[in-house]
Every structure is written in C-alpha cells, then in structure tokens.
C-alpha cells in the first residue's frame, strides 16, 4: 500500500489532492506517479490529480482493473464497513469529497492506513462504492 512519503511530481502525496490516484495505485500495486502519468492528458496541462467519479472509472478501465458498483442504503463510511463490506474484499469508496480504499476493516488513503474507527472520514456519507474483482496490472 502507498505510504504518505511516496511522491507525485516531487511532492509527498499526503499534502496533495490526489486521493483518487492514490486509491487506484493502492488497488493496482503501481506507484502513484505511474498512475498519475497514465491519466494525465495534454489537453489539461495544469491538472493536479483531482478526479470526479467518471474520471476514476475511466482510469480504472485504462489500467484494466475489474470492478462492480455496490448498492447500499445511505450510510457513513464506518457503517459501510460494518454492514456492507465483505471481510476479504477490497473496495474503492467515494465519501463526501474523498476517495479511500477499504480492505479488511482498514481504510487506506494518502495519509496511510488506519482502522475505520480512527479515520477522519468515518462519519462522512458514502456516495458510491466499487468492489474490486480483478487487480490486473497495466501493460508496460
């Protein structure tokens, strides 16, 4: 998993708004800079790494990550982990303004790993969630 000291464009990921890029990097096992470079496009030269949901899905498709969108009732991140997340499964979860990876009751983002009960997003509403079905690496 990604550590807060990993870098994108020479800066640590912890202080940047690259949570979607970091979530995809955590799922694929690629370095955050590699994932960032795979999505960057010439028409957006000032892009700094922020992703909308449709852009995150496009990035996962580009990197050939298998996923299925989960259905659930309105809930917080902590309730999602307790009620809906299977113990051995990996999820990318979109909370209000942030993307995280949920695996085994732990939450992973650019700040590192934390138990869901200690994560700063635990009380944020979950907007969307995707269960990762196949973690295929991108072709070099």
Please count the structural domains in the chain. 1
Whether 103 is in a domain gets the answer yes
- Domain of 88, CATH number, reads 3.90.70
Our measurement of the distance from residue 65's CA atom to the centroid of its chain's CA atoms, rounded to an integer in Å, reads 12
Residue 41 has pLDDT above 90, yes or no: no
User: What pLDDT is stored for residue 42 in this prediction?
Assistant: 64
Residue 140 has pLDDT above 70, yes or no: no
Range of the domain at 100: 7-135
Q: What is the mean pLDDT of the chain?
A: 89
Whether 111 is in a domain gets the answer yes
Whether 140 is in a domain gets the answer no
Whether 2 is in a domain gets the answer no
Whether 57 is in a domain gets the answer yes
Beta strands in the chain (DSSP E): 7-8, 11-12, 65-69, 90-95, 98-103, 106-109, 112-115, 126-135
User: What pLDDT is stored for residue 15 in this prediction?
Assistant: 82
User: What pLDDT is stored for residue 139 in this prediction?
Assistant: 58
């Amino acid at each position: 998993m990604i550590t807060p000291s990993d870098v994108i464009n020479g800066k640590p990921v912890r202080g940047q708004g690259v949570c979607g890029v970091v979530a995809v990097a955590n799922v694929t096992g690629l370095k955050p800079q590699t994932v960032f470079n795979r999505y960057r496009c010439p028409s957006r030269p000032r892009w700094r790494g922020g992703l909308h949901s449709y852009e995150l899905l496009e990035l996962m498709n580009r990197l050939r990550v298998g996923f299925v969108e989960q259905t659930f009732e309105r809930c917080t991140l902590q309730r999602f982990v307790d009620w809906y997340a299977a113990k051995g499964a990996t999820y990318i979860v979109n909370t209000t303004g942030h993307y995280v990876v949920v695996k085994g009751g732990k939450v992973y983002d650019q700040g590192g790993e934390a138990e869901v009960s200690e994560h700063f997003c635990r009380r944020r509403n979950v907007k969307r969630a995707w269960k990762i079905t196949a973690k295929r690496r991108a072709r070099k």
